[in-house]
Amino acid sequence: MSQLEKIQAEYEQFPQEVASIMISTVNEEGMPNASYTPFVMDEFKNIYIYVSGLASHTANIHANPYVSILLIEDEAKAPNIFARRRLNFYCTANLIERETDKWNQIVEQFQVRFGEVIEMFRSLADFRIFQLTPTKGRFVIGFGTIYNINPDNLSQLVPVTKDNLSNS
């Protein structure tokens, strides 16, 4: 197995190693907000979040559907705090309508991953599911080991060089 194939496999596995994402949104006044939320991901790299309508990031997504998300290695597991593995995506958010087939399918995925607390969320009318569709991203494994994610094929990593450093 080549080095790139090993890193590709690590990239595919990494989202299963973390249960929540950091999410960056912007409100109507242009002020940034950083928060976090548990997530599930589908085979196309779409990220789904199940969030309260009372949360700042939910109001921000309604005002501006462009978000940045970060999956990051647990500090306790990282060999070096300055070189934690991380995956960043720029995304566009879309609301999934309640009680549709897709909404029910995503709720089931949340239930499998996070347990019975999801039953309570189902009964709360203010909870919403957003699909975050990545447009581009970057996977960082450590010092100098950086890969852009091909925006035309989110499963393909492209090593970062001086020529493509600003692509993400």
Average pLDDT value for residue range 87-114:
96
Average pLDDT value for residue range 50-61:
95
Q: What is the spatial distance between Cα 114 and Cα 44, in angstroms, rounded to a whole number?
A: 21
| Structure-block tokens of residue 155 | 């499963």
Tell whether the model's pLDDT for residue 161 goes beyond 70. yes
Average pLDDT value for residue range 43-55:
95
Average pLDDT value for residue range 124-140:
95
SS3 5: helix
Average pLDDT value for residue range 29-55:
96
pTM of the model: 0.92
| Residues 6+ away with beta carbon under 8 Å from 140 | 85, 86, 87, 88, 146, 147
Average pLDDT value for residue range 52-79:
95
- Contact 55/127 with Cβ under 8 angstroms? no
Tell whether the model's pLDDT for residue 168 goes beyond 60. no
| Structure-block tokens of residue 99 | 């009680």
Tell whether the model's pLDDT for residue 166 goes beyond 70. no
| Structure-block tokens of residue 39 | 């997530």
Is 124 buried (19+), middle (13-18) or exposed (0-12) by CB count in 10 A? exposed
The pLDDT of residue 167: 56
Average pLDDT value for residue range 140-163:
89
Output DSSP code: residue 143. T
pLDDT classification of 107: cutoffs 50, 70, 90:
very high
